Amino acid sequence: MAGGFKALKGQGHWPTLFAAFLYFDFSFMVWTMLGPLATEISESLAKVSGFIMDPSQKATLLAIPILSGALLRIVLGFGVDKFGPKKTALAAQAVVISVLFYAYIRGEHITYNELLIVALGLGFAGASFAVALPQAGQWYPPKLQGVVLGIAGAGNIGVVIDFLMAPKIAELWGWQAVFLVGGILSTIIFVMYALMAKDAPREIYTPRPKKISDYLKLLKDKDTWWFSLFYAVSFGGFVGFANYMKVYLMDTYQADMSAFGLEYLNEPNVKVIAGYFGALTIFAGAMLRPVGGAIADKMGGVKSLYIFFGAVTVLALINAFVTLPFWAAIFVLFLIMANLGMANGAVFQLVPQRFGKDIGIMTGIVGAAGGIGGTVLVKTLGWSKEAFNGYSVGFMIFAAIVVVAIVGISMVKTRWRTTWGLQAGGKI
């Protein structure tokens, strides 16, 4: 990596690369903002307006940003082609800033339906992936794409910041203050991005506008659907659990977290403690994605996915069938998120080898599948809580879907290794 950073010297346009990193990192933080605030918002609605959010409604609120962010990635991808990355990013960021300040201004008097609209608007932040990465990559030659996209795309850490900071800000000044802070930070990033970022000139990068027919052509390829399934499990699992983590911890281990906060941290607010433990588990998945890619480079994407998905299956079933003490549960959740994060890296070790010429479009399609997977997971966990007053069934269903993905890998591995894998240039 150090060599990669050194190679960037004198290449491309570093202000654009830095601006793309800031835009994506803060966007990812805003995108997942509702997750660590769900408990506070639910209590506020009940206190002020008498509206009691049931588990299904809470899951819907948390799922909408994931789903809209997934689908909007494709929309913003077209915007990048037609209007350029910079105009597309500024327009999307303006929507995000608007809904953040709207939520702050409405504050405790906001209704559930208004929150759903805010959640929809936050999806534009999740779709920033489709803008920041192409904008940064267009400035640099193919040999530097790995390090450039690694820098621009290092945004998963934003969700960790959410869980560390949002509950404490909410405790001190109210949950609406988190939206104010998010709005102010997003406005600062908007100005910095407007001043620093530039679209690559045509002598460096000549865009090939994507057409609907390009997407339809790839959707006819069965490998597109296999990769979509694998990413729906890996990234969908990561972002779904990340968004729902605090709700799950509060519902399941509230007394244990309260005791820990009082004994060790001098922190009486259990919602803040839940944020800390949520951040710990999410940190594993956010930071280990490149490790998963490196493991896949060494042993092959197929074998590494067997390992990561196999571990997730076993861990999810343990969580489903065994009543774990608090510390054991945190450890299991940490390992689940770690393996999902590494699986994300492994999937995208394979995708460029299979669809190198269409990687831009495939990133949009597979990324959308990941968001849809996260939406399904959040709704499944909410349904499990509402229908069975617990999460065992939700974890069982998730484990079953991971098993389907493992069976899928077994069905395609021989064909992959004997066809496109022979010329891919990397280990399959």
Q: How far apart are CA 282 and CA 155, in angstroms?
A: 13
Nearest CA among 95, 83, 78 for reference residue 130: 78
Using DSSP, how many helices (H) and how many strands (E) does the chain show? 18, 0
The residue assigned the tokens 């609605």 is: 45
The pLDDT of residue 2 is 46
Nearest CA among 392, 386, 389 for reference residue 60: 386
DSSP conformational letter for 140? S
pTM of the shown model: 0.89
Give the type of residue at 37.
Answer: L
Q: How far apart are CA 382 and CA 116, in angstroms?
A: 16
In this structure, the chain runs to a length of: 428
Find how far residue 356's CA is from the centre of its chain: 23
Question: CB neighbours (10 Å) of residue 3?
Answer: 7
Q: pLDDT tens digits for 52-71?
A: 999 999 999 999 999 999 89
Q: Which residues of the chain are under the pLDDT cut of 50?
A: 1-3
Q: pLDDT tens digits for 14-28?
A: 888 889 888 988 898
Domains of the chain and CATH, by start: 14-200 (1.20.1250.20), 215-423 (1.20.1250.20)
Question: CB neighbours (10 Å) of residue 423?
Answer: 7
